[in-house]
Amino acid sequence: MFFLLACDGDRLHLPLPARLCSICHRTDFLDRLRRCATAEEMVAAALAAERKMLGAPPPVVAD
């Protein structure tokens, strides 16, 4: 798996790859990402993995 991260400025230059590394090691993100067929599914997998790692509840989606 290869990730290309584009950061505006130096503020996120190291924290963003560190967060991604933690997500990859502490969740099932890579397995979920491999099963994604669309960009939207990839974003949803990344957000779900980050919430899982941080212990945050899933967002409430209004109908």
When pLDDT is cut at 50, 70 and 90, the band that residue 58 belongs to is low
Query: Which helix (H) or strand (E) element contains residue 48?
Result: helix 39-54
pTM given for the model: 0.73
Domain ranges of the chain: 16-54
Residue 48, judged by CB atoms within 10 A of its CB (0-12, 13-18, 19+), counts as middle
pLDDT, one tens digit per residue, over 1-52 is: 888 888 787 887 888 888 899 999 989 999 999 999 999 999 999 999 998 8
| Structure tokens belonging to residue 15 | 């924290």
Task: Report the pLDDT value the prediction gives residue 56, as an integer from 0 to 100.
Answer: 67
pLDDT above 70: residue 63: no
Residue 62 CA from chain centroid, whole number: 23
CB 46 within 8 A of CB 29: yes
pLDDT above 80: residue 57: no
